Structure 1
């Protein structure tokens, strides 16, 4: 835990803050009714607003990396720091899924939850692995080399799926080589439970997801070198439009899908994020727009802490039984918000209010000048 020191990139903080707010809204949809379709992930192939959130956060990680990398740091110290940060983020993700560490026992009490069925992959775990891969590439490779590596990761991932999966199973949830690797290394009990053995944050998908981080790094480096002016923003927006066009050409052979994190999905989300970030930079840095600055900056300064808080708080609320609804968050969503606004509107209102509670936690951290870093 540390206090902020040097000046931060305001539009990046706001960009990251908007991402965290939407991530919480999507992850904690109010119970009692199905959320709006765009706030639910596509079942397999396809694309929704909810699918954009995680790759946008990875893009923001890379963008922040372009400002945080210290070229004066010795190679051994740099690699040690990267490894420690990645290990800590991975551990936090694992502990977050294991929380609350106890489960109801047969006698009405509580017993310790077994590690034998704790999920190993996860959102923070993927962030950790992507950071571990991307940071050395960002430091030691030229921008042109980074682009070549990005192309190699996307095409290589595609060829691995086609070349090592059983015939006709390259894009199937349980038949692709990525699922085989996860089942072999972790076992079914340590993977995501809702898809029969397929884990959307599996190991092989780390390769294309790393491209989202590297793209964010390149865009951040571009802003630093070219400056925060209209021409720089136009260049980012133009490149973003090109990144959106490529997956539309590729998708007939490799469909767009978040769960498999296909190459076209990575490129599509990178293109959208470039356009969004260009908009933030233009509005905040070029035009000086101040609307929403304080609100989003509070979220963007402590995204990891606020995300973990949002995940742990909703689990804690659900530990409080409220018959016949289930847990306390179920009662809030059904008895309160579904009564006021039945259907997806009530679900969204509940999620937004919950996100505002998490914002309050971020405000509390910010008021004390605390930046939680790993």
Structure 2
């Protein structure tokens, strides 16, 4: 039921974990009505942590785990060439462009009033790029030092740098340092809803780099240790330690997804480690794999699912059923006609999201059967 040699092949458990994350994203992002959503499927309003707050950092963590395998061939003796750096830059630039494309479509369709530059895919792109550069150029010990330094420096900046009109240590949406720097560098006209704060802003991407690096540390552990329950337990102990440290730090620097606070990095990493440990133990160690197939199907085409589902939702929002200003969008009409009447507002809203998820799963299962895996 276990192997005495380190794991070198593709981690099926990581594909399953990625599929769980993308499934959580679909459920959280596509309720039938935003007025009727179960609390666990909502982000914390500001400070705090809900299951939905784990989805985004889980993607970054997973990217870091995969990085430990994909970049393992490059060492101090076998240094990466300019071609390797170019490949990483190309991949990250394409990911960034896809995010801008989705934002641009929202702007052109009139869903949003401005063209937002940053977003989820853009943050993944930037965080992955800088983490990869660090991994390729620093020894493991120095990566740990860099990670700690970023989290401490971000904490110090958020608490000690004064914002005009608000002072130092103000962690409100309008008064925090991250938002202030983004307003200066990016400009409110390019920020989320032209507001004073962007939840995927430029400055708060710094601690997100550490989220990728924590995944890299986990992947490096898996790559170098035997496939046994002891390795799973190492992940569990790391997860519990990260959770405790994160919540302790949260006393002084609150756990906040939108600010991507240092305490949030540790809490999200803790839960990611525990979920990865569970998937690893069941799939790699105990060889219990059948349960993971539905998630694996989605995990192998996660970027495609993110982009394609985002495009479909935008089109459903702008398509109208009927005429006049009061005509509902096709998205709302489907919810109100097919789900809410028999399941109720709240359950109907959840079932709408589940139906959307099942629809995409069928599409991706067809891709899986044909061997179509779209990569960047």
TM-score by length of 2: 0.90
Whether the aligned pair in 1 keeps the contact of 2:161 and 2:169 (CA below 8 Å) is: no
Whether the aligned pair in 2 keeps the contact of 1:32 and 1:334 (CA below 8 Å) is: no
Alpha-carbon shift at residue 93 of structure 1 (Å): 0.3
Please give the residue correspondences for 1:356-371 in structure 2 after superposition, counting only pairs within 5 Å.
356-371=358-373
Give SS of 2:219's match: helix
Q: Aligned equivalents of 1:297 and 1:368: distance in 2? A: 15
The 1:32–1:76 alpha-carbon spacing in structure 2 relative to 1, beyond 3 Å, is closer
Q: Name the structure 1 match of 2:314.
A: 315
Please give the residue correspondences for 1:82-161 in structure 2 after superposition, counting only pairs within 5 Å.
82-99=88-105, 102-103=108-109, 117-161=114-158
Which of 62, 65, 71 is the aligned partner of 1:63? 65
Alpha-carbon shift at residue 183 of structure 1 (Å): 1.4
The 1:271–1:94 alpha-carbon spacing in structure 2 relative to 1, beyond 3 Å, is same
Q: Aligned equivalents of 2:118 and 2:210: distance in 1? A: 19
Q: Aligned equivalents of 1:344 and 1:319: distance in 2? A: 23
Moved more, 269-278 or 362-371: 362-371
Whether the aligned pair in 2 keeps the contact of 1:338 and 1:346 (CA below 8 Å) is: yes
Alpha-carbon shift at residue 103 of structure 1 (Å): 3.9
Q: Aligned equivalents of 1:149 and 1:32: distance in 2? A: 40
Q: Aligned equivalents of 1:373 and 1:254: distance in 2? A: 37
Structure 2 stretches lacking a partner, 5+ long: 1-7
Q: Aligned equivalents of 2:172 and 2:317: distance in 1? A: 34
1:254-275 deviations in whole A, cap 9, x for unaligned? 0111011111111001011101
Whether the aligned pair in 2 keeps the contact of 1:32 and 1:330 (CA below 8 Å) is: no
Q: Aligned equivalents of 1:22 and 1:298: distance in 2? A: 14
Whether the aligned pair in 2 keeps the contact of 1:65 and 1:135 (CA below 8 Å) is: yes
The 1:173–1:100 alpha-carbon spacing in structure 2 relative to 1, beyond 3 Å, is closer
Q: Name the structure 2 match of 1:284.
A: 283
Q: Name the structure 2 match of 1:251.
A: 250
Aligned Cα root-mean-square deviation (Å): 2.0
Give SS of 1:289's match: coil
TM-score by length of 1: 0.91
Q: Name the structure 2 match of 1:173.
A: 173
Alpha-carbon shift at residue 371 of structure 1 (Å): 2.0
Q: Name the structure 2 match of 1:202.
A: 201
Structure 1 stretches lacking a partner, 5+ long: 1-5, 105-112
Q: Name the structure 2 match of 1:40.
A: 42
Give SS of 2:192's match: coil
